[in-house]
Amino acid sequence: MLIEANRIQEHDRRQLLSHEAQLDSARKFIPGASVVIERLREFQVAIPSWALGTGGTRFGRFPGGGEPRSLEEKLQDIGLLHALNRSSGSISLHIPWDIPSDPERIKTLAKGLGIRFDAVNSNTFQDQQGQALSYKFGSLHHVDQAVREQAIAHNVEVIRHGVALGSDAITVWLSDGSSYPGQLNFRKAFERTLESLRKIYASLPSNWKMYIEYKAYEPNFYSMTVGDWGQSLLYAQKLGPQAFTLVDLGHHLPHANIEQIVSLLLMEGKLGGFHFNDSKYGDDDLTVGSINPYQLFLIFHELVEGMDVKGIKHSSGLSWMIDASHNVKDPLEDLLQSVEAIKIAYAQSLLIDQAELNHCQQTNDVTRAQEILQRAFRTDVRPLLAEARRLEGGALQPLDLFRELKVRASLIKERGTSGVATGL
Ligand SMILES: [Mn+2]
């Protein structure tokens, strides 16, 4: 299914009067509204290929139908999102779930939909059919060199697929760890992992980046070999200038101050990218902004402040990606909500008067500092988002139009109810 431009224009025409009234009022009380709109027009968030189908838990999965059955259909789904919100112009692939049989054809299809290829992801957290050696006790940290070599070869292969599609980064997330005390020598596990990562790093093209994602626990419950930002940063520093830390919002212990982590990684020039989601208890992978939008705003505040100090371009300096799972919502609706939440937090963070905040910090005016942040957070920036979308040819209200056009019903008609997206 494709959403034709005239359907979007017709929707925007119907909404225009009320949109303009809201935009006029927003412009009156938001200084620099035009600059925010311009920034929003550029901002893109990558959609992971595995988020287009219904997720599940170890207890069950309740698919809603019309799931993409191939890489082509995954691209088409992201094309739908991008047509509606003009901010979902890239895809993050997962190998081996998304190996393109014909990279040139896939590239042409993506180009036609205005989609580029973000970081490619390797998978050594599960055994694939026909795989010679098992990752039951880890991959890059495994005690058996033959297992490590197999995992290294897989990552090199992922880079090769990424090069063929025009991607320029690989994200390595390891489930390696231990579930019981005594199972693992921490130091030796770190050293073996570093040696393995060095071999993968050596095969990176010169314009590529390697993102090292950390996670506090799960699937291992006693230790993780890349368990926190400190460990990830150690690897990234030892590997070299093309290696960076990747922050996934769900991969921390409860109450971690993620905004402080972000600030310090940026200071060190080692923040590579972001996986957005939201959580209440653990790695819940819920819709971005659904549980704790204030934390998301505080993170964006540190991101924007830190990027500005370093002269990093907001839209392309870091890799922005959603990494969520949709168990009870339509995946495409959930993704529209997530992209919207990310852009709201970003736009609000642009409203912070940095000079005024800096003055408060220098004079220990704690009360005023809080007021500055919360004034920005409590500003309704949605008319600015809508205007940015309209100017880019997107829908003023993407979710409404998605429902009006009965997109899911069309996808079910096209693909049936029983198809399962690869990787799920
Ligand atoms: Mn992630």
Q: Give the distance (Å) from ligand 1 centre to CA of residue 172.
A: 10
Is the pLDDT score of 291 beyond 90?
Answer: yes
User: Could you give the CA distance from residue 359 to residue 354 in angstroms, rounded to a whole number?
Assistant: 9
Calculate how far, in angstroms, residue 174's C-alpha sits from the geometric centre of ligand 1.
10
Q: What is the pLDDT of residues 347-380, one digit of tens each?
A: 999 999 999 999 999 999 999 999 999 999 999 9
> 301 CA distance to ligand 1 centroid (A)?
21
Token pair of 209 as six digits: 């980046």
Ligand 1 midpoint to CA 379 (Å): 29
Ligand 1 centroid distance, CA of 275 (Å) = 5
What is the whole-number distance in angstroms between the Cα of residue 169 and the centre of ligand 1? 14
In sequence order, what DSSP letters do the residues of 211-268 get, joined into one string?
EEE--SSSS-SSEETT-SHHHHHHHHHHH-TTEEEEEETTSS-TT--HHHHHHHHHHT
Q: What gap in Å lies between CA 131 and CA 157, rounded to an integer?
A: 14
pLDDT for 58 beyond 90:
no
How high does pLDDT run on average in the chain?
Answer: 97
Ligand 1 centre distance from Cα of residue 245 (Å): 12
pLDDT, one tens digit per residue, over 208-245 is: 999 999 999 999 999 999 999 999 999 999 999 999 99
CA of 248 to the centre of ligand 1 (A): 5
Whole-angstrom Cα Rg for the chain? 22
Ligand 1 centroid–CA 231 distance in Å is 16
Distance 47 CA to ligand 1 centre (A): 12
Query: Band of the pLDDT at 173, cuts 50, 70, 90?
Result: very high
Rounded to whole angstroms, the Cα distance separating 144 from 345 reads: 45
Is pLDDT at 424 greater than 70 in this prediction?
A: no
Reported as a single tens digit per residue, the pLDDT across 79-94 is 999 999 999 999 999 9
Residue 157, CA atoms < 13 Å, CB-side half-sphere: 15
Return the pLDDT at 299.
98
Q: What is the mean pLDDT of residues 281-295?
A: 96
pLDDT in tens, 238-266: 999 999 999 999 999 999 999 999 999 99
Q: Write out pLDDT tens, residues 85-141.
A: 999 999 999 999 999 999 999 999 999 999 999 999 999 999 999 999 999 999 999
Q: Which residues are found with C-beta within 5 Å of the ion, ligand 1?
A: 248, 275, 323
**CA neighbor of 208 nearest in space, from 255, 131, 156:** 156
How far apart, in whole angstroms, are the C-alpha atoms of residue 69 and residue 49?
Answer: 11
